[in-house]
Amino acid sequence: DSEQRVAHTTEAVAAAISDAADSHDLIIVFGASAVADPDDVIPAAIRRAGGVVEHVGMPVDPGNLLVLGRLGEIPVLGAPGCARSPRENGFDWILDRLIAGEWPSKADITGLGVGGLLKEIPTRPQPREGSAGKRPGPVGIVVLAAGQASRMGPDGRHKLLAEFEGMPLVRRSVETAIAAAPGRVIVVTGHREAEIRAALAGLQTRFVSNPDYRSGMASSLVAGLSALDAGAGGMLVMLADMPGITSAHLAKLIAAFEAESGRAVVRAVAGGQRGNPVILPKETFHAVRQLVGDVGARHIVERCGLPVIDVELGAAAHLDLDTPEAIVAAGGLLRD
């Protein structure tokens, strides 16, 4: 087994497919965006590499955005977003047959829809009643600012009150969120709540208190979700200790979410490596409400069965400040 990360372009993906064919019996391509057209990057790259695209799409959900091609006798699969999920899905059905030495025909793939095109999953009930192609409800931004900053050392200094260019980090983050989604920003507070809220005085935001903040991030996610507008189509989860994130970054994530009609998870990445923030669509809200302990939304992203759209934000997607040294290195001034 091997893994190669390349730019999401026809030329780069085609070169990677050609290289992999020299030493592998099966090639799986995960794209930076979903395949919605036979001329999208992945099918175009299969053809550019000298291969053949035999089928695009499958009447099974999760799994409807699968691409099946070949380079000589080597199968090349364009993986749908659900391929990242440990739950059984349409991608698994095709992969199982290929590993068994079979080659699914177009008739085999289209026949998977007999008896019902869609497979329901708990986090996405009745997708046939969804609003594919329609603009999703607005994205609400939940800024997580309730944590104890336990890695800041024994002197009790709070990282969110550290100053950058004369402004507390938490205020800088919330102002960034407001610029991207005015009127739709929620701040979750807990540890040193009075001081955090005082640092945000005068900003047009809603506060929600998390009295259970000591239990970990899950309680803050649930608290933030509880304050979200009923018509929200997604929740953008933003950590308050990421000074590199700008309103332009947030706008880029929201635009990607709207381009998918609110039917995908949108995640910031740095050099292809997952980071923050992330937008969770409405279909995942039930799963968020079940979270407990010191866990985030990562396993929801991996198991929800929805496509995952990665948006490259560069180093800002990885820069979070957890220690005094990190704050100073990023140009911050520590305060009590």
Mean pLDDT (the chain, rounded): 87
Tens digit of pLDDT for each residue in 162-191? 888 889 999 999 999 999 999 999 999 999
CB 4 within 8 A of CB 11: no
DSSP state for residue 190 in the 8-state scheme: B
**Helix pair 41-48, 10-21: axis angle to 10 deg:** 50
- CA dihedral of 255, 259, 260, 266, whole degrees rounded to 10: -20
Query: What's the Cα-to-Cα distance from 327 to each of 62, 97, 152, 221, rounded to whole Å?
Result: 42, 52, 10, 24
Confidence of residue 129 (pLDDT cuts 50, 70, 90): very low
Query: What's the Cα-to-Cα distance from 244 to each of 190, 238, 333, rounded to whole Å?
Result: 23, 12, 16
Choose one of 89, 119, 149: the last residue of a domain: 119
Residue 101 and residue 184 in one domain? no
Residue 32 lies in a domain: yes
Burial label, 294 (beta-carbon count in 10 A; 0-12, 13-18, 19+)? exposed
Residue 335 lies in a domain: no
Residue 103 and residue 232 in one domain? no
Residue 134 lies in a domain: no
pLDDT beyond 50 at 147:
yes
Structure confidence at residue 336 (pLDDT): 64
Residue 310 and residue 253 in one domain? yes
CATH at 189: 3.90.550.10
Structure confidence at residue 53 (pLDDT): 94
Residue 86 and residue 177 in one domain? no
Residues of the chain with pLDDT > 70, as a percent, come to 91
Residue 109 and residue 80 in one domain? yes
Residue 3 lies in a domain: no
Residue 194 and residue 69 in one domain? no
**CA-closest candidate to residue 148, choices 205, 186, 185, 193:** 193
pLDDT beyond 90 at 298:
no
- CA dihedral of 94, 99, 105, 107, whole degrees rounded to 10: -40
CB 60 within 8 A of CB 90: yes
What value does the mean pLDDT take over residues 113-136? 53
CB 310 within 8 A of CB 267: yes
Residue 262 and residue 183 in one domain? yes
User: 246 or 298: whose pLDDT is higher?
Assistant: 246
Q: How far apart are alpha carbons 143 and 141 in whole angstroms?
A: 6
Structure confidence at residue 155 (pLDDT): 59
What value does the mean pLDDT take over residues 141-147? 95
Tens digit of pLDDT for each residue in 22-75? 999 999 999 877 787 889 999 999 999 999 999 998 888 778 889 999 999 999
Structure confidence at residue 144 (pLDDT): 96
DSSP state for residue 228 in the 8-state scheme: S
Residue 100 lies in a domain: yes
Tens digit of pLDDT for each residue in 228-237? 998 999 999 9
Confidence of residue 193 (pLDDT cuts 50, 70, 90): very high
Residue 54 and residue 170 in one domain? no
Residue 58 and residue 95 in one domain? yes
Residues of the chain with pLDDT > 90, as a percent, come to 61
pLDDT beyond 80 at 150:
no
Structure confidence at residue 128 (pLDDT): 45
Structural domain total, the chain = 2
Residue 204 host element (H or E):
none
Structural domain span for residue 206: 139-329
CB 289 within 8 A of CB 222: yes
Structure confidence at residue 24 (pLDDT): 93
